[in-house]
Structure 1
């Protein structure tokens, strides 16, 4: 079983390529709150709904001093197509070898249609300005999650 992060834990650092192949590092966001959300695959129905919910809430989140980063095992080229098709204006980063996803507890065994499979566990992490985990939410639903999260963090 993949170990899970808890509030107060130090967020695992990372530097991963974005949709354009440029490195995005958690250290770039020190001093700001970050929502890092892990999703299984770009351009799938659930992941598209979730990304669009974040896109549609971005102004309010940014206004509250919160940045959003999406992470998946997709290649940068696929992320670029997804970003462009859905007009996403926040970074999508590629973790092809799933190292960072694993460090966050967002890759491992999960239930899918009653079967145990290994894959990305849809998860959301709220990271505080000091790089510590504020919230670690695992097995979140693609639909309605952003609205629920906004209520929890008062945005």
Structure 2
């Protein structure tokens, strides 16, 4: 089977690792969809209460600081906007997962670029907060970029 062969673009066996990445992306999509649904179902009142509880628990100033700013910014419109963004992100992740499962080239491009964008952030997180979690996140993203980039190079040959 060669890249010129139309079946190459549809054969998941031709691309080791794509199913694992597709499952990871699908899980991210489902989590984002759950978050979007939760935001819409809960609404702003419980979120404000939780933030107020955090402010009290940590003895923070309720008029200043990032939590106070967040509490003041929570309203019906901001909840709808956050839910819409989460829903869009979920759709993108689920579409990418479907494309990777079906071994589509566009999905490899989307996944490779999407994971590569996070690499500088992962390196910064490792520098600021060294530890096993930062190393694991960086390693997973490097592996994803490598697998998808390898898939794209194979398709060009």
TM-score range, shorter chain: under 0.3
Question: TM-score normalized by structure 2?
Answer: 0.23
TM-score (norm 1): 0.24
Computing the radius of gyration from Cα coordinates, the structure with the larger value is 2
The structure with more helix, counted as a fraction of residues: 2
